[in-house]
Amino acid sequence: TYDVVIVGAGHAGAQAAAALRQRRFAGTIAIIGEEPELPYERPPLSKDYLSGAKPFERLLIRPAAFWHDRDVAMLTGRKVVRIDPDAHTVTAEDGTTTGYGTLIWAAGGHARRLTCSGHHLAGVHSVRSRADVDRMMTELATTTRVCVVGGGYIGLEAAAVLAKLGKQVTVLEAQDRVLARVAGVALSRFFEAEHRAHGVDIRLGSVVDCITGHDGRAAGVRLADGEVIACEMVIVGIGIVPAVEPLLAAGAEGGNGVAIDAHCRTSIPDIYAIGDCALHPNPFADGLPIRLESVQNANDMANVVARALTGEVQAYHAVPWFWSDQYDLKLQTIGLSAGHDTEVLRGDPASRSFSIVYLKDGHVVALDCVNMVKDYVAGKRLVVDRVAANPADLADVGQALKEIR
Ligand code: FAD
């Protein structure tokens, strides 16, 4: 039995334990994680780790000594399958049972898989864990053609790395633009053009029918219109399924994630949930319940719970931010653009350094900044204060965003 048991050794779980110790929490802490590794950073998996620029050791969120010195028990390689809220215990697949005073569920999500025929063939990969990317990397030497299913951030980042490694890359996106779920039209068009300029074949409105195979390995992707795109590797980047089954089975409210309140509490006493798996009322989404998949959200929710457990109760109100690296482009996003009614372009995309400001009812709700750190930094205040701004002023690059009131 531990005073605090954290399920999930990812960004949120690691930060919760680190923040508890930083706030001088004196109770016992254990982290139970399904993966064999100590907590590591996931974003480089589709960036510097896949490209070979960073070895795994540099992905660790903290070195092993950090956890040891702070007396955080790391129970890795163990998947929790059952929670007993009355007995205050969690049980793992291997049968071990651990008691908790407070449970922090930080289990993230698993990569959503294709369900069509051929989805199990060798050569079909997800990009969620170190093991996924290691498997992919062992096949790269014998791969010349790659099909990426899904034009979201992860699919596009992987496409950029593989194109730079000299692979022939096709991106298959079912919608009429890439990044449709997370960005406005102008940003989608910009990234489509960038990828095409780097030789990536971006196919919009392309619905996958199945993966074709040969000798148990993927040999191509067949589209709904019958066309087959030949390839040796298929990378599937179609989102995640939140890892919340044991919680829901124990009676917690939720569906697409586990429902939490503004203090990260689930509907079950003494159980919090944080990170990618947490369906929460977000002040930057008009208080509507959403899940955010970002390092920012994982860390800030972890801090809310660490505070609550050390006597400083505070609601979650952090401004969402995110980044994506593709080629030499650094995209930085602040706020949530979903639901915007106006997009203002600031600067010239052809210069590869510009921003897009999103407004709703005349108020700034988000910015996407490409190689434009200054706007990203100044934009935070505009989003936090929901500043009512004139689109013509926002579009005027001669006027610094920090001057806009
Ligand atoms: P995770 O980091 O997924 O950690 C959850 C852990 O819990 C996992 O190790 C999982 O195996 C484990 N687990 C699941 N179920 C159980 C169980 N039943 N028992 C025990 N353990 C369990 N975010 C950004 O902000 N910027 C980026 O550029 C960016 N790039 C990304 C690139 C890739 C390839 C990926 C995959 C993600 C990226 N993200 C990025 C998102 C970011 O990594 C996630 O938002 C973040 O990892 C969420 O942290 P988490 O702790 O909630 O979940």
- Chain segment 6-60, per-residue pLDDT in tens: 999 999 999 999 999 999 999 999 999 999 999 999 999 999 999 999 999 999 9
Q: What is the DSSP letter of 40?
A: B
Give me the helices (H) in 59-184, please.
Answer: 64-69, 130-139, 153-164
The pLDDT mean for the chain works out to: 97
pLDDT for the residue 405: 83
| CA pair distance 327, 199, nearest whole angstrom | 12
Place of tokens 């040891």: 68
343-348-350-354 Cα dihedral, nearest 10 degrees: -70
| CA pair distance 262, 364, nearest whole angstrom | 23
| CA pair distance 359, 392, nearest whole angstrom | 12
Place of tokens 């590869």: 352
Query: What is the Cα Rg of the chain in Å?
Result: 22
Residue type, 11: H
* Ligand 1 neighbourhood includes 8 CB (under 6 angstroms): yes
* Ligand 1 neighbourhood includes 41 CB (under 6 angstroms): no
* Ligand 1 neighbourhood includes 133 CB (under 6 angstroms): no
Distance 177 CA to ligand 1 centre (A): 25
| CA pair distance 258, 245, nearest whole angstrom | 9
Q: Report helix angle 185-197 to 153-164, nearest 10.
A: 20
Provide φ and ψ at 205, rounded to 5°. 60, 30
Which ipTM score applies to this complex?
Answer: 0.99
331-336-338-341 Cα dihedral, nearest 10 degrees: -90
On whether the pTM is more than 0.95, the answer is yes
Q: Judge contact between 271 and 247, C-beta under 8 A.
A: yes
* Joined tokens for residue 85: 């809220």
Secondary structure element (H or E) that encloses residue 392, with its range: helix 391-395
* Ligand 1 neighbourhood includes 80 CB (under 6 angstroms): yes
pLDDT tens by residue, the chain, 405 residues: 999 999 999 999 999 999 999 999 999 999 999 999 999 999 999 999 999 999 999 999 999 999 999 999 999 999 999 999 999 999 999 999 999 999 999 999 999 999 999 999 999 999 999 999 999 999 999 999 999 999 999 999 999 999 999 999 999 999 999 999 899 999 999 999 999 999 999 999 999 999 999 999 999 999 999 999 999 999 999 999 999 999 999 999 999 999 999 999 999 999 999 999 999 999 999 999 999 999 999 999 999 999 999 999 999 999 999 999 999 999 999 999 999 999 999 999 999 999 999 999 999 999 999 999 999 999 999 999 999 999 999 999 999 999 998
Q: Residues in the chain, how many?
A: 405
Residue type, 214: H
Q: Judge contact between 45 and 127, C-beta under 8 A.
A: yes
pLDDT for the residue 234: 98
Distance 153 CA to ligand 1 centre (A): 14
| CA pair distance 253, 260, nearest whole angstrom | 8
Residue nearest to atom 30 of ligand 1 (CA): 43
* b/e burial code for range 60-74 (CB count within 10 A of at least 16 → b): ebbeeebbeeeebbb
Count of alpha carbons within 13 angstroms of residue 129, beta-carbon side: 19
Of the candidates 381, 382, 374, the residue with the CA atom closest to the CA atom of residue 400:
374
Q: Judge contact between 340 and 365, C-beta under 8 A.
A: yes
* Ligand 1 neighbourhood includes 46 CB (under 6 angstroms): yes
Provide φ and ψ at 260, rounded to 5°. -130, 160
* Ligand 1 neighbourhood includes 151 CB (under 6 angstroms): no
* Joined tokens for residue 206: 């392309």
